[in-house]
C-alpha cells in the first residue's frame, strides 16, 4: 500500500472516531462498514458477530466493547426512520478488522491500524500502573520517615524504628521480613518494599499512617507502646485484605521499583527529546 493511501486512510479512520461524555473513544459500526469496504450492512453484521464471539472467547465482556444503539436517518426530504447501529471501542474495531475479508485493502490497513493503536493504549495503561507504584513507594518512604520522627520525638530514641517496622511486616504478611525477602529473592541490602506490589505498598502506608495518628493522639512514650499499636494496625489491614481474597504473603514480587523509576525517567527524557518516537 502506497504511503499516500496510508496517510489518507489514517486521516479517514481518525476523523470518524467519536467520544462518549466520559471520554471513551468509539466508532459507529455503520461508519466502520464503509471504511472497511463493505457495501451491504447485512454482510457487515456477520463480521461484527464474529468479532463479538472473538471478544467473548478472549475473556472480555462483549457489552463493554459492543453497545447496540438506534439512530434516526433522513429518508427523502421530509421523512426519517430509525435504524440499528453499534458503538465499537477501539478494541472492538480491532476484532472486527481481524474477522473481515483479508482481500480488502481497507481490512489489511485496519488490522494494522487498530492493532497499533490498541497496543499504544496497553502501553499507556502499563505506564500509568508503573507511575502509580513509584508514587506509592515514595509515599511510603515519606510516611515511614514521619513515623521515625514521631518515635524519636515521643520516646527520645530512634533505635526502635527498625524493630517496629519489622514487627509491622510480620503482622501484615504473617511472616518475618527476612522470610519475605527470601521468598521474593530480595537482596539483603534492599528494603522489602522496593519489591512489593502497589496494593502492599498502600496497605503498609495506611497502617503506618494510623500508627502515626494514634501515637500522637494517645501520646505514647515508649517503643513498646508504639510497636503494639503498629502490630495492631497491620493486623487489621491484613484481615481486611484477607476478607477481600488477598493474601499478602502469597502475592508475587513486583519488579524492582528503582529499575521501574529509572525506566520511566529515561522514557520521559526520550519523549521530550524526540516526541515523534513516542510510539512503542
Would you tell me how many other CB atoms lie within 10 Å of the CB of residue 131?
13
Give me the percent of the chain exceeding a pLDDT of 90: 58
Q: Of the candidates 38, 198, 85, 212, which has an alpha carbon nearest to the alpha carbon of residue 142? A: 212
Query: Of 9-18, 110-119, 139-148, 159-168, which range is least confident?
Result: 110-119
* pLDDT tens string 65-93: 999 988 766 666 666 777 889 999 888 99
Q: How confident is the model at residue 275 (pLDDT cuts 50, 70, 90)?
A: very low
CB within 8 A of 52, min separation 6: which ones? 62, 66, 95
Specify whether the CB–CB gap between 245 and 255 falls below 8 A.
no
Give the pLDDT confidence score for residue 27 in this predicted structure. 92
Residues 166-179, mean pLDDT to the nearest whole number: 97
Residues 170-182, mean pLDDT to the nearest whole number: 97
Q: What are phi and psi of 99, to 5 degrees?
A: -100, 5
Per-residue cell: 144 = 515511614
Q: How confident is the model at residue 237 (pLDDT cuts 50, 70, 90)?
A: very high
Query: Residues 90, 94, 99, CA angle at the centre, nearest 5°?
Result: 145
Q: How far apart are CA 23 and CA 245, in angstroms?
A: 32
The better pLDDT of the pair 277, 259 is held by 259
Give the pLDDT confidence score for residue 220 in this predicted structure. 94
Specify whether the CB–CB gap between 168 and 180 falls below 8 A.
no
Give me the percent of the chain exceeding a pLDDT of 70: 89
The better pLDDT of the pair 74, 261 is held by 261
Amino acid at each position: 500500500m502506497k504511503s499516500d493511501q496510508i496517510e489518507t486512510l489514517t486521516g479517514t479512520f481518525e476523523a470518524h472516531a467519536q467520544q462518549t461524555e466520559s471520554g471513551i473513544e468509539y466508532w459507529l459500526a455503520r461508519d466502520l462498514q464503509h471504511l472497511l469496504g463493505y457495501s451491504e450492512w447485512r454482510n457487515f453484521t456477520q463480521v461484527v458477530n464474529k468479532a463479538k464471539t472473538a471478544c467473548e472467547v478472549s475473556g472480555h465482556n462483549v457489552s463493554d466493547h459492543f453497545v447496540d444503539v438506534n439512530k434516526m436517518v433522513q429518508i427523502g426530504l421530509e421523512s426519517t426512520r430509525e435504524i440499528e447501529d453499534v458503538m465499537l471501542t477501539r478494541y472492538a474495531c480491532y476484532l472486527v478488522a481481524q474477522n473481515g475479508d483479508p482481500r480488502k485493502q481497507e481490512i489489511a490497513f485496519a488490522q494494522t491500524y487498530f492493532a497499533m493503536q490498541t497496543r499504544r493504549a496497553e502501553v499507556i495503561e502499563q505506564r500509568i500502573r508503573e507511575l502509580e507504584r513509584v508514587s506509592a513507594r515514595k509515599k511510603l518512604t515519606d510516611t515511614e520517615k514521619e513515623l521515625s520522627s514521631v518515635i524519636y520525638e515521643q520516646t527520645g530514641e530512634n533505635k526502635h524504628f527498625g524493630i517496629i517496622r519489622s514487627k509491622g511486616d510480620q503482622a501484615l504478611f504473617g511472616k518475618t521480613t527476612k522470610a519475605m525477602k527470601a521468598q521474593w529473592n530480595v537482596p539483603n541490602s534492599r528494603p522489602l518494599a522496593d519489591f512489593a506490589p502497589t496494593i502492599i505498598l498502600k496497605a503498609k502506608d495506611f497502617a503506618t499512617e494510623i500508627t502515626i495518628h494514634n501515637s500522637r493522639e494517645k501520646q505514647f512514650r515508649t517503643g513498646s507502646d508504639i510497636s503494639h499499636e503498629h502490630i495492631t494496625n497491620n493486623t487489621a489491614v491484613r484481615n481486611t485484605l484477607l476478607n477481600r481474597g488477598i493474601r499478602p504473603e502469597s502475592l508475587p514480587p513486583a519488579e524492582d521499583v528503582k529499575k521501574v523509576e529509572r525506566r520511566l525517567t529515561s522514557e520521559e527524557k526520550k519523549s521530550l527529546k524526540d516526541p515523534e518516537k513516542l510510539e512503542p
